[in-house]
Amino acid sequence: EAQVTQNPRYLITVTGKKLTVTCSQNMNHEYMSWYRQDPGLGLRQIYYSMNVEVTDKGDVPEGYKVSRKEKRNFPLILESPSPNQTSLYFCASSWDRNTEAFFGQGTRLTVV
């Protein structure tokens, strides 16, 4: 089954404790991206990757890092999480930037 898998689905952590949210897709897509979704603000892009070893900042990249060492995986790294990063995070993949995007099920992160 074609899918984008994120882990964990739920995470509660403390300020400053490094964490990684994993994202994996099994569709051989080249384009992957991370979004956060906050009430009243809609979906905002954090980082995107157009191919292996090619990543770039989206609209709200501050406080986040990503890596794309292989095509199927695109982890999101929070080196020192802060409470304003409490949000619902989605990973998405597509063949390229112009085609249909498939979203993961989301990761609800709470930073206390």
Partner 1 sequence: KNQVEQSPQSLIILEGKNCTLQCNYTVSPFSNLRWYKQDTGRGPVSLTIMTFSENTKSNGRYTATLDADTKQSSLHITASQLSDSASYICVVSAGNNAGNMLTFGGGTRLMVKP
| Cα distance between residue 53 and residue 62, in whole Å | 20
First to last CA, the chain: 36
Binding positions for partner 1, 10-49, rule CB under 8 A: 31, 33, 40-45, 48-49
| Cα distance between residue 72 and residue 29, in whole Å | 7
Question: Least distance from C-beta 104 to partner 1, angstroms?
Answer: 5
Which tokens in the block code for residue 9?
């689905």
Binding positions for partner 1, 51-110, rule CB under 8 A: 56-59, 88, 90, 92, 97-106, 108
Question: Least distance from C-beta 43 to partner 1, angstroms?
Answer: 5
Question: Least distance from C-beta 58 to partner 1, angstroms?
Answer: 5
Query: Binder to partner 1 among 50, 67, 77, 86 (CB under 8 A)?
Result: 50
Question: Least distance from C-beta 57 to partner 1, angstroms?
Answer: 7
Classified as helix, coil or strand, 85 is helix
| Cα distance between residue 93 and residue 29, in whole Å | 6
> Among all chains, which residue has been given the structure tokens 């890092």?
65
Residues in contact with partner 1 by the rule CB under 8 A: 4, 31, 33, 40-45, 48-50, 56-59, 88, 90, 92, 97-106, 108
